[in-house]
Amino acid sequence: MNLPYARALVTGISGQDGALLAAHLLAAGVAVTGTHRPGTPDLWRLRGLGVAAHPRLRLVALDPADATACAELVGALAPDALFHLAGQSRVAEAFRDPAASLAANGTSTVHLLEAVRTRAPNAHVVLAASAEIFGAPTQAPQDEATPLAARTPYGLSKLVAHAAVGSWRASYGLRASSAILFNHESEWRDPAFVTRKISRAVARIALGRERTLALGNLDAQRDFGYAPDHVAAMAAMAARAQGDDFVLATGVAASIRDFAAAAFAAAGLTLDWFGDGVDEVGVEHGSDTVRVRIDPALLRPFDAPLLVGDASKARRELGFAPSLDLAALARRMVEADLARERAA
């Protein structure tokens, strides 16, 4: 794999996407500087991927809310590509503190775009945007031309960032691209995210360490892709001569219920579903043991019923190709959590 750039700056390198992207870029011969929040970074993903001590990897602290710090870092590094992955990534947290999410995701993007414009104007900026910018679309699947109408505080914060990329591209000629990421999961996902919450609970249930998994809205349908496929597409976006927007998705929708069923199946457990609404339960087949129940406290004020993407443009122009279906993705995550639980 060859990439036509030598130096990359990756914000949020300690997260799932940041660590996977760093590993991908380092394997391609790119020198990577990764930023983390001030303080001691959590390197478990980079260690797990075998790149924490890579000679071409450098870690620095950065608060993206500090415009001066952003400009100074970009000016000192003069990166060929800047991948902005840092920010507030949890929808539930954005409901609790909308202003902080808007600052973390929207304002920080403006700071970095300005830093590139003034200090490294030839760099290609790639933003990790989100399918939440579509709100509750009437069109399915969603593509780059789907109207944007964010309905949640998180979606709004990502929409501001996405719009800023388009604005700086149009107004200043910046090479800036937005990756409109639909759900993309892996064994490196944070346990606070529903997919990893499910895979970890399934592993603990299979080992007899837990009995029941509590979830929120089982009916929400999402497009579950494999995170390494998405970060590889983002790396390819930065290799383009011009900035553009790309939907990254599998094109297949599945409910949270479907993902939970696939995860339990990966551990050899079949679920039968009974009841409606908050009374719905998933019962282990052949027994009366409830394995999934609804916790009303986990229901969000608003949850888009269907987000599924059309990545035809990314397939055509980036060579993007999803590598795992839902069953294989759930199995990979459950097997990784089983291994972790057994080693604990």
Domain positions in the chain are 7-185+225-251+307-323, 194-219+255-304+335-343
Q: What is the pLDDT of residues 320-340, one digit of tens each?
A: 999 999 999 999 999 999 999
Mean of pLDDT values over 127-141? 94
Confidence (pLDDT) at 224: 98
Hey, what CATH class is 194-219+255-304+335-343 in? alpha beta
Question: In the predicted model, is pLDDT for residue 318 greater than 80?
Answer: yes
3.40.50.720, 3.40.50.1820, 3.40.50.300, 3.90.170.10: which CATH number matches 7-185+225-251+307-323?
3.40.50.720
Question: Which positions ≥6 away from 148 have C-beta within 8 Å?
Answer: 133, 134, 135, 159, 162, 163
Task: State the pLDDT confidence band at 94, using cuts at 50, 70 and 90.
Answer: confident
Q: Are residues 307 and 149 in contact, defined by beta-carbon separation less than 8 angstroms? A: no
Rounded Cα distance between 258 and 327, Å, is 9
- Does this model's pTM top 0.85? yes
Question: In the predicted model, is pLDDT for residue 30 greater than 90?
Answer: yes
Mean of pLDDT values over 121-130? 98
Q: Is 154 tagged catalytic?
A: yes
For residues 98 and 77, the model is more confident at 77
| Residue 274 CB neighbours (<10 A) | 11
Question: In the predicted model, is pLDDT for residue 22 greater than 90?
Answer: yes
Closest CA relative to residue 41, chosen from 10, 71, 73: 10
Which backbone phi and psi does 161 adopt, to 5 degrees?
A: -65, -45
Question: In the predicted model, is pLDDT for residue 138 greater than 80?
Answer: yes
Q: Is 132 tagged catalytic?
A: yes
Q: How many Å from the N-terminal Cα to the C-terminal Cα in the chain?
A: 36
User: Percentage helix, strand, coil, to 5, in the chain?
Assistant: 45, 20, 40
Catalytic residue among 5, 114, 154, 226: 154
Q: Do domains 7-185+225-251+307-323 and 194-219+255-304+335-343 have the same CATH topology?
A: no
Question: In the predicted model, is pLDDT for residue 159 greater than 90?
Answer: yes
Q: What is the pLDDT of residues 220-234, one digit of tens each?
A: 999 999 999 999 999
Catalytic residue among 132, 185, 187, 226: 132
Q: What is the pLDDT of residues 253-312, one digit of tens each?
A: 999 999 999 999 999 999 999 999 999 999 999 999 999 999 999 998 888 899 999 999
Report CA torsion sign: 87, 98, 65, 126.
Answer: positive
Q: Which amino acid is at 292?
A: V
Cis peptide before 141 (omega within 30 of 0): yes
Mean of pLDDT values over 67-86? 98
pLDDT, the chain, mean: 96
Alpha helix (H) residue ranges in 79-223: 91-96, 98-102, 108-119, 153-172, 194-206
